Amino acid sequence: MITYEASDSIAILTINRPQKKNALDLATLKELRTALMNARDDEQVKVIVLTGAGNDSFCAGADLKGGSSSPVSYAEAFFKETDKASEQGLYIRMMDLTDLNIHKPLIAAINGYCLGGGLEIALQCDLKIASDNAIFGLPEAKVASIPAVLGLHRLLKAVPPAHAMKMALTGEPIKAMKALDIGLISDIFTAQDLMPEALKIAQRISSNGPLATQAIKKLSKITGHLSDIDAQQITELYWGILRDTEDRIEGRQAFMEKRAPKYKGK
């Protein structure tokens, strides 16, 4: 249900349930997490691209039709580890990827529907690009629920609050151009050009110093809520960590010699 391809320092993960609009059931979530960990631990991989099979869906959210009632009470499941809790009804915990500690840049190539849990997955990616037929939404309120995987929390950080609240409270979707206008995505391409363009962006990122790109990603996660003084202190520490690395020395040398750098992640 998740296909995995890796070449030229880029891993492509594809949610492969087109007959279900790439909706996420428990088995698919387990495979997705495993594939992400494989990409995380592969030293040859510098950038990860996540997409959906076909042209009409990135991920339409949780597979509600495939769901089942919880075998135990919420209290019993709550104190269990992720895998066990998910088997006891807390499948939403599997959709929160923060515990995987993926420091490599993650690009969402969004083709078609990106709804509910699908948008919550995409919001955890560092870059989001989309095809011109993409549709975004948090429809949970329509089925008397809420975006349970920090969907509202992350959307409020990604776009102006007025747009985030309208999407969450009405449950109504928005189209790709609107998503671009409010800053939810960075680029729009045709369906045919989406993956080639995603790979071009991934290649440009992978040609940079891998330790630097990982540091940039980590800083973006840990400094957003800090004061300027505190954020600067942490930024300085990361700059200091990178300052004497082989890659930074190589980058400066390559710049002076007007050649492409050869980074080793050291």
202 touches 210 (CB < 8 A):
no
Annotated catalytic residue within 87, 140, 246, 250 = 140
Gap between the Cα atoms of 93 and 99, Å rounded:
10
Annotation marks residue 236 as catalytic = no
133 touches 56 (CB < 8 A):
yes
Gap between the Cα atoms of 125 and 97, Å rounded:
10
For the chain, the straight-line distance linking the first and the last C-alpha, in angstroms and rounded, comes to: 35
What token pair was written down for 228? 């300027």
Gap between the Cα atoms of 26 and 66, Å rounded:
9
Gap between the Cα atoms of 1 and 24, Å rounded:
10
Annotation marks residue 246 as catalytic = no
Strand pairing of 106-110 and 127-131?
Answer: parallel
Annotated catalytic residue within 81, 120, 236, 257 = 120
What token pair was written down for 192? 């045919």
Gap between the Cα atoms of 63 and 117, Å rounded:
9
Residues assigned a catalytic role: 120, 140
